[in-house]
Amino acid sequence: MEKSKGVAYCDGNYVPVDKATIPILDPAFTKSDVVFDAVSVWNNQFFRLEDHLARFRASCKYVRMNLPLSENEIKVILAQCVAQAELTQAVVFMLCTRGRYGGGVAFGDPRTCRNQFMAYSVPYYWAIPKEHAETGGHLWIAETRRAPNVAINQRVKNFNRMDLTMAQFEALDAGADTPLLLSTEGHLTEGPGYNVWIVQKHKVYTPSDNLLEGITRLTVFDLCGELNLIAKAMDLSPEDLIEADEVFISSSAGGILPVTKVNNALIGDGMPGPISSQLGKLYWEKRAQGWHATNVADILVKPTLHPANHGHIKAREKIRN
């Protein structure tokens, strides 16, 4: 078991994440017919696990998938993926895949599929490389636009990311850290794995439409409340971003990270802004205090809930016995 790289739960077994695979004929691959969620673990504690699970269930419902496991079974699997990998800092993915078409055909009726649950842990990572984020990240407003909700509902966390990837090439080519995509209407939306925020005259704003409503985005609203800062979701333009006093991003992969450059233009004085820094500091302080935390070990204390190395059905039978 290559513990440091993460552990996957796949077909009812725990395996090193590098060994985990999916069938090439699963529409999860051939049609990106899969939804997911990703929850962070810091010092052995999940953050807002219930919120991630609720959003994951909503994603499944939207694409008409039935999770073959209960909430408790899923929690145990997620905790096992962390514990078996011996990771104290991790990002943990939960996926529901469409599963193969009835009869094993390559092209068929999605209603005939038996939906599958998968999960995996990987070492914690940052939406912007950590060393850049400390001095302030560089966002790139890409030419490629984010696919609109009317085509691909971005409130549903999904792997249809060709737009994000093409935008990422634009950003990397330009020497920036990560792209920020506009909607087809020209409003700011989101980047790969993060929401964007601006601070203008001590008020905090984030885009409202055509994006995933991040759990860390929700957390920023909470933290703004604690700091008596007005925070609001609304349509924002590229100009709003460039002219902001401060810019930061929120992500399960890194928390709250300052941005000091957008398309080569400095934001404010080019240093991480005071409100961004205050929010980032408060985020980690409160997490250290156990805010919205669920201990990995606490989930694993009940041995009867432990489906390790059993198939879904076997695991459920075991729990019922």
User: What is the binding site for a copy of itself (CB under 8 A)?
Assistant: 5-6, 8, 10, 17-18, 20-25, 27-34, 63-64, 91, 98, 104-107, 109-111, 118, 120, 122, 125, 127, 144-148, 150-153, 156, 158-166, 168-169, 172, 184, 192-193, 253
β-partners of residue 96 are 35, 117
Rank residues 118 and 236 by Cβ distance to a copy of itself and give the closer one.
Answer: 118
Q: Residue 77, exposed/middle/buried by CB under 10 A (0-12, 13-18, 19+)?
A: buried
DSSP 169: H
CB of 106 to a copy of itself, least distance (A): 4
CA distance 91 to 87: 9
CB of 172 to a copy of itself, least distance (A): 6
Cα 124 to Cα 41, 105, 254, 292, 307: the distances in Å are 8, 38, 8, 18, 25
The CB density around residue 151, as the number of other CB atoms within 10 Å, is 9
CB of 199 to a copy of itself, least distance (A): 26
CB of 61 to a copy of itself, least distance (A): 13
Rank residues 146 and 217 by Cβ distance to a copy of itself and give the closer one.
Answer: 146
Rank residues 32 and 208 by Cβ distance to a copy of itself and give the closer one.
Answer: 32
Rank residues 162 and 234 by Cβ distance to a copy of itself and give the closer one.
Answer: 162
CB of 173 to a copy of itself, least distance (A): 9
Rank residues 24 and 320 by Cβ distance to a copy of itself and give the closer one.
Answer: 24
CA distance 101 to 111: 8
CB of 67 to a copy of itself, least distance (A): 18
Cα 156 to Cα 37, 85, 98, 106, 249: the distances in Å are 9, 28, 15, 25, 20
Rank residues 34 and 53 by Cβ distance to a copy of itself and give the closer one.
Answer: 34
CA distance 65 to 73: 17
Rank residues 10 and 223 by Cβ distance to a copy of itself and give the closer one.
Answer: 10
Torsion of CA 10, 45, 223, 71, to 10 degrees: 40
CB of 118 to a copy of itself, least distance (A): 7
